[in-house]
């Protein structure tokens, strides 16, 4: 009987927690802001921080799925060009898109109420951390 109770408790707990995984994924819901931190990798020393402006956020919130990732990659690439990267703008954009997955926040995790996605840029010695406030 104990095994049955444990199994039932485990199954109930699993069913109760399963929806939480969906909340950790980037959604198509409007969000109020996105902060981007560019860091030296692996030292995690910030070299640039910026937030999307109101116009960029309005545009971002009108998009869905992969379009969001493409738009965000374009915005971040513009800022990365100020750091004099070794890669071409198209290569930077491709690295960012690969790190974002099928949506702007496919592989995100929740940290302090924000979606966080950290993308390493191979060959650049940089990592981009994207924080979407929910």
How far is the C-alpha of 50 from the C-alpha of 125, rounded, in Å?
19
Identify the pLDDT of residue 24.
Answer: 40
Q: What are phi and psi of 119, to 5 degrees?
A: -120, 120
Tokens representing residue 100 in the block: 């974002």
Confidence of residue 21 (pLDDT cuts 50, 70, 90): very low
> Which DSSP symbol is given to 32?
S
pTM (2 d.p.) = 0.72
> Which DSSP symbol is given to 78?
H
Instruction: Report the number of secondary-structure helices (H) and strands (E) in the chain.
Output: 4, 5
Q: What are phi and psi of 111, to 5 degrees?
A: -135, 115
Mean pLDDT across the stretch 20-48? 72
| Residue 110 predicted with pLDDT over 80 | yes
């Amino acid at each position: 009987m104990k095994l049955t109770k444990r199994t039932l408790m485990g199954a109930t707990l699993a069913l109760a927690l399963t929806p939480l995984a969906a909340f950790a994924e980037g959604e198509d819901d409007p969000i109020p802001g996105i902060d981007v931190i560019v860091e030296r990798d692996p030292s995690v020393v910030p070299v640039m921080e910026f937030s999307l402006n109101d116009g960029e956020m309005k545009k971002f919130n009108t998009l869905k799925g992969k379009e969001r990732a493409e738009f965000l990659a374009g915005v971040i690439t513009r800022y990365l060009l100020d750091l004099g990267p070794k890669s071409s703008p198209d290569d930077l954009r491709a690295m960012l898109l690969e790190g974002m997955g099928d949506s702007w926040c496919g592989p995100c995790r929740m940290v302090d109420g924000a979606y966080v996605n950290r993308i390493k840029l191979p060959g650049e010695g940089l990592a981009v951390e994207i924080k979407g406030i929910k």
